[in-house]
């Protein structure tokens, strides 16, 4: 097919003259062992809406052989800084000032990358060859219509003289090196045929195949599950040691920083607030903002001494049956639970895979015989990796799906019924009692409706209130979620992510529900905003006596706010119990694996915990 | 891929049958049948038809019999013998009428298609890469002007220019002295001397849509992270554009590529009529006006069949260029 079409070979890019023109005396580096020295960098986005100084006079030094983490919340300019280094800032961003001194070899010449033309051969010979880049979302960062082998091979065509056959062999070897099994077959697969973790491994292989001196990883694990994140972090640490390279790692997650950083740069609003070795940042932070960030971290144990080690944690394999549920307390609850899920099962028919064989429909069991109880006024955390069925379970509770089997006994003292069997018409009164808060504060608000319409709609649809009474209730609800009354007539685009999530919460609570299903409600928010929203949810729970089903992949959040925790794995409930019991004394192998993958938020504890790897056992 | 192809073919067959029935239904719609019309016109000229011959024609076309019998006679003759019936107006077999115009029609259609794409695709890409630049605005304005000017008006204007300044004959694809001349180098040159007017008119009018679609698709794709990835590898800009965003931006065109096939065949009715070109377009218009049912039906059927076949080809092409379609992920 088209993929086997022969292409004219690209000539490797070399630009000694252009690089020589931007050479700088080595004395101008602020530290002699620096591989990268960013001096007074300014990157500006000029848009119709105005000028944004994404990177505002940033200076930072990356020392050879170390891992430098740039930490900051969204909009802090951390990504723009990283991209400015090799001049791949998104349009209309421009590097407007400053110097980027880069020294590929320890004793080699120093070049000012900022002085190179953004499209010239000079910078092109550095990109990919001497500085590799790994992005956040491997699905969108790789082309969907080219095989991964094709995309990785390009780097070698550009930066080596190897012939096509040798290139292919190197690509396969590199895929093996990053831990992709059956690399010789996978080299010809497309991104959508690989799992998220495999895609990110392929991306890392692409960034490293030309053996760059510096690897820039821009949130490489943010889009991944916690267990996959642990694997990728271990892989990066291993590769860094084997290839003796330097890494710049950009993240918003301080846990990850504690796990891998040697040096830390804290950024906010395009400026560097604090820099220092990881131990100092975590144990003796100077800037107030750094302290705030650290305070948002869960359960930091004090009084640990000792320097951070470079050890990759040891691996322990465990296995347990998937279809057994570990329950920490068998005692029957004293009162009737608000929601009692019994033997819930949800199957999807899937016209599987290809267009070539439409007729093979397979059945996917998304939720397999799950039984759970949620007591009134409590919070049940539902955790698990993507694809484990936790969202499906939440949607069954909402009756967005009709469960294949099982019961959903709802009893708030006034109304009691089995939600699982009701028809759409019968469900209507319960629609206002069971409400949902969504994950994406951007996608879940209609941009063409004002906040008043968005929040008031459930009331209007249910025929509960209208006219000035409706406006009154909407405005008092706005105040309750920490917004101002006069914001009601604005449109969603005028709000930040955190404010939008408050609007989403107001929309859920306007009908005075009893049960709120929060599906990853804080996952898309920055750390500091996340803390505020969690506090708001807790306040509202106390005031209104709400019951939460809190679905999240973020274990630290669940631990902080949930009374009980349920762990799901491929549709099965594997462990359930009080939060403290599950987190401190996990019984099921999968729960142990999941917990061991969470980064420890103290660099001094690095490498002290074994990494548990779970292998499901054949069902007995 | 083989299963996919067979699957698609199985979808095509019932569609073709349905389309042929609809085509026949349409040409049957006018009151009366063509034999009565023909007899009437012959009698008006004082001639009469041999009753035996009349009866033979009746049997041949199943006239007076139910719709399905007539349809079956019509379609089975086409499928089995390639016989599209007789044109009442020209008193000649429809197949011959169409095929003698086919060469010029396809020539006009293909040249137009190639010129349209040769102009529109680079223009659209440049427009997207240099968004909000002078080049972008110029291309957009020119494209819209070409779209807004009615084809027949542009055709008349160009024909006037051709006549006034280059001394060309107005209308037709040949100068009078070459119309019935045998093929020679001079005749070919004469053909191209006339061909450029309709080609330019039709091609320019078609560019605006493609420019806008290309521009919009490219703008969507240019800011995707995989483009930055490609740049971060050190690829040169031109190659980045060609290999990554352009490849994906072309998908919507690939999926409609087959629709160009009937367009090549029907030969732009209005422009061809205004310029009196010897293509199938004016033939169809004439047939419809004079109730020449087998000629009109034949052309409509061919265009419809080509549309179905074109869509089928598009489906295969799209599966070939986009692995997401091939593996059922999009």
Q: A238-242, A297-301, A340-344: lowest mean pLDDT where?
A: A297-301
Q: Tell me the residue ranges of DSSP E strands in chain B.
A: 86-87, 92-93
B44 occurs within a structural domain: no
Q: How many CB atoms sit inside 10 A of residue B103's CB?
A: 11
pLDDT band at A619; cut points 50, 70, 90: very low
State mean pLDDT over A263-273.
Answer: 93
B6 occurs within a structural domain: no
Q: Are A480 and A507 in contact (CB under 8 A)?
A: no
Q: Are A274 and A266 in contact (CB under 8 A)?
A: yes
For residue A331, the model assigns a pLDDT of 56
Determine, for residues A127 and B237 on separate chains, whether the beta-carbon distance falls below 8 Å.
Answer: no
Q: Which residues pair with A613 in a beta bridge?
A: A317
Q: Are A149 and A187 in contact (CB under 8 A)?
A: yes
pLDDT (tens digit per residue) in A88-120: 888 778 888 899 999 988 888 999 999 988 888
pTM: 0.78
Which residue does chain B place closest to A207, by CA atoms? B233
Q: A57-66, A70-79, B211-220, B283-292: lowest mean pLDDT where?
A: B283-292
Q: How many CB atoms sit inside 10 A of residue A211's CB?
A: 14
Is residue A344 classed as helix, strand or coil in its secondary structure? strand
Mutation target vs B (from A138, A354, A358; most B CBs, 10 A cutoff)? A354
For residue A4, the model assigns a pLDDT of 43
Instruction: Locate CATH 3.40.50.300 in chain A.
Output: 2-9+16-295
> Which residue matches tokens 């802090």?
A76
Q: CATH number of the domain that B212 lies in?
A: 1.10.3720.10
Backbone angles phi, psi at A390, to 5 degrees: -70, -40
CA distance A155 to A127: 9
CA distance A519 to A612: 27
User: What's the CATH code, domain A2-9+16-295?
Assistant: 3.40.50.300
B70 occurs within a structural domain: no
Q: Are A279 and A67 in contact (CB under 8 A)?
A: no
B81 occurs within a structural domain: no
CA distance A126 to A262: 25
**Across the beta sheet with A271-277, what order do the strands follow?**
A131-134, A214-218, A246-251, A67-71, A263-268, A271-277
Determine, for residues B234 and A124 on separate chains, whether the beta-carbon distance falls below 8 Å.
Answer: yes
For residue A1, the model assigns a pLDDT of 39
pLDDT exceeds cutoff 70 at B328: no
For residue A620, the model assigns a pLDDT of 41
pLDDT band at A614; cut points 50, 70, 90: confident
> Which residue matches tokens 């004002």?
A450
**CB-CB neighbors (< 8 A) of A145 in chain B:** 247-248, 321-324
Its ipTM equals: 0.76
B135 occurs within a structural domain: yes
pLDDT (tens digit per residue) in A432-467: 899 999 888 888 888 889 999 999 998 888 888 888
**CB-CB neighbors (< 8 A) of B248 in chain A:** 143-145
CA distance A412 to A261: 49
B125 occurs within a structural domain: yes
Which residue does chain A place closest to B130, by CA atoms? A91
Determine, for residues A355 and B4 on separate chains, whether the beta-carbon distance falls below 8 Å.
Answer: yes
Determine, for residues B323 and A159 on separate chains, whether the beta-carbon distance falls below 8 Å.
Answer: no
CB-side neighbour CA atoms (13 Å) of A395:
14
Q: Tell me the residue ranges of DSSP E strands in B15-164.
A: 86-87, 92-93
Domain extent, residue B141, equals 97-290
User: Which secondary structure element, helix H or strand E, spans residue B298, and what is its range?
Assistant: helix B293-321
B246 occurs within a structural domain: yes
CA distance A515 to A435: 6
B303 occurs within a structural domain: no
pLDDT band at A596; cut points 50, 70, 90: confident
């Amino acid at each position: 097919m088209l993929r086997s079409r022969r292409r004219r070979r690209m000539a490797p890019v070399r630009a000694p003259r252009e690089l020589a023109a931007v050479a700088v005396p080595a004395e101008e580096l602020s530290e002699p062992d620096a591989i990268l020295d960013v001096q007074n960098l300014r990157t500006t986005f000029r848009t119709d809406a105005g000028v944004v100084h994404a990177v505002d006079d940033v200076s930072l030094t990356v020392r050879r052989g170390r891992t430098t983490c740039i930490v900051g919340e969204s909009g802090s300019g951390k990504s723009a800084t990283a991209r400015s280094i090799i001049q791949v800032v998104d349009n209309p961003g421009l590097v407007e000032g400053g110097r980027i001194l880069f020294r590929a070899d320890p004793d080699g010449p120093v070049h000012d990358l900022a002085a190179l033309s953004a499209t010239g051969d000079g910078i092109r010979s550095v990109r990919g060859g001497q500085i590799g880049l790994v992005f956040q979302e491997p699905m969108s960062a790789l082309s969907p219509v080219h095989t991964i082998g094709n995309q990785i091979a390009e780097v070698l065509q550009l930066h080596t003289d190897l012939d096509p056959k040798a290139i292919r062999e190197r690509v396969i070897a590199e895929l093996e090196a990053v831990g992709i099994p059956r690399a010789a077959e996978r080299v010809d697969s497309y991104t959508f045929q690989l799992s998220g973790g495999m895609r990110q491994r392929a991306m890392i292989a692409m960034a490293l195949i030309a053996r760059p001196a510096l690897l820039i990883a821009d949130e490489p694990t943010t889009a991944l599950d916690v267990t996959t994140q642990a694997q990728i972090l271990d892989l990066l640490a291993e590769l860094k040691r084997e290839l003796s390279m330097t890494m710049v790692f950009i993240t918003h997650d301080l846990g990850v920083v504690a796990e891998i950083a040697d040096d830390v740069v804290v950024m906010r609003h395009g400026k560097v607030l604090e820099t220092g070795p990881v131990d100092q940042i975590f144990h003796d932070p100077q800037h107030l903002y750094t302290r705030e960030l650290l305070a948002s971290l869960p359960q930091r144990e004090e009084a640990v001494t000792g320097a951070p080690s470079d050890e990759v944690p040891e691996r322990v394999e465990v296995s347990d049956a998937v279809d057994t549920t570990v329950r920490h307390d068998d005692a029957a609850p004293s009162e009737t639970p608000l929601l009692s899920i019994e033997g819930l099962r949800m199957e999807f028919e899937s016209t599987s895979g290809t267009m070539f064989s439409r007729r093979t429909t397979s059945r996917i069991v998304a939720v397999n015989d799950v039984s759970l109880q949620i007591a009134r006024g409590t919070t049940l955390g539902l955790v698990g990796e993507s694809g484990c069925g936790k969202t499906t379970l939440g949607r069954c509770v909402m009756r967005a799906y009709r469960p294949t089997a099982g019961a959903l006994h709802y009893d708030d003292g006034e109304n009691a019924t089995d939600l699982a069997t009701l028809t759409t018409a019968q469900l209507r009164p319960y629609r206002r009692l069971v409400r949902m808060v969504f994950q994406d504060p951007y996608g879940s608000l209609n941009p063409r409706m004002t906040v008043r319409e968005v929040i008031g709609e459930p009331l209007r649809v249910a025929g509960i209130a209208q006219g000035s009474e409706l406006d009154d209730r909407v405005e008092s609800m706005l105040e309750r979620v920490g917004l101002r009354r006069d914001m009601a007539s604005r449109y969603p685009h005028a709000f930040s992510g955190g404010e939008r999530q408050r609007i989403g919460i107001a929309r859920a609570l306007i009908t005075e529900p009893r049960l709120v299903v929060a599906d990853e409600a804080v996952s898309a928010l920055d750390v500091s905003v996340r803390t505020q929203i969690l506090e708001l949810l807790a306040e509202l729970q106390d005031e209104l006596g709400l019951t939460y089903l809190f679905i999240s992949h973020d274990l630290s959040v669940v631990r902080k706010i949930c009374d009980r925790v349920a762990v799901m794995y491929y549709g099965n409930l594997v462990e359930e119990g009080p939060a403290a019991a599950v987190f401190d004394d996990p019984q099921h192998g999968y729960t142990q694996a999941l917990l061991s993958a969470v980064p420890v938020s103290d660099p001094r504890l690095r490498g002290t915990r074994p990494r548990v790897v779970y292998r499901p056992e054949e069902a007995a | 891929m083989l299963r996919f192809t067979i699957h698609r073919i199985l979808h095509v067959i019932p569609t073709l049958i349905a389309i042929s029935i609809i085509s026949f239904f349409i040409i049957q719609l006018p009151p009366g049948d063509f034999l009565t019309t023909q007899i009437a016109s012959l009698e008006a000229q004082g001639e009469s038809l041999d009753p035996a011959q009349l009866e033979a024609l009746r049997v041949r076309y199943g006239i007076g019999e139910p719709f399905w019998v007539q349809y079956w006679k019509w379609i089975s003759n086409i499928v089995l013998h390639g016989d599209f019936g007789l044109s009442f107006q020209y008193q000649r077999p429809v197949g011959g009428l169409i095929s003698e115009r086919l060469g010029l029609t396809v020539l006009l259609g293909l040249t137009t298609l190639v010129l349209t794409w040769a102009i529109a695709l680079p223009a659209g890409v440049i427009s997207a890469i240099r968004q909000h630049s002078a080049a972008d605005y110029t291309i957009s304005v020119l494209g819209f002007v070409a779209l807004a000017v009615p084809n027949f008006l542009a055709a008349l204007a160009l024909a006037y220019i051709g006549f006034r300044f280059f001394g060309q004959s107005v209308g037709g694809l040949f100068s009078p002295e070459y119309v019935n001349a045998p093929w020679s180098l001079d005749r070919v040159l004469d053909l191209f001397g006339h061909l450029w007017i309709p080609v330019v008119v039709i091609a320019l009018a078609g560019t605006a849509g493609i420019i806008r679609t290309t521009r919009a698709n490219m703008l969507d794709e240019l800011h995707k992270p995989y483009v930055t990835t490609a740049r971060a590898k050190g690829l040169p800009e031109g190659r980045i554009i060609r290999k990554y965003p352009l490849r994906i931006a072309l998908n919507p065109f690939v999926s409609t590529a087959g629709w160009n096939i009937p367009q090549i065949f029907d030969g732009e009715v209005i422009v061809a009529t205004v310029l009196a070109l010897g293509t199938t377009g004016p033939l169809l218009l004439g047939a419809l006006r004079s109730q020449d049912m087998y000629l009109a039906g034949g052309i409509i059927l061919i265009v419809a069949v080509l549309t179905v076949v074109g869509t089928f080809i598009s489906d295969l092409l799209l599966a070939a260029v986009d692995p997401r379609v091939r593996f059922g992920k999009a």
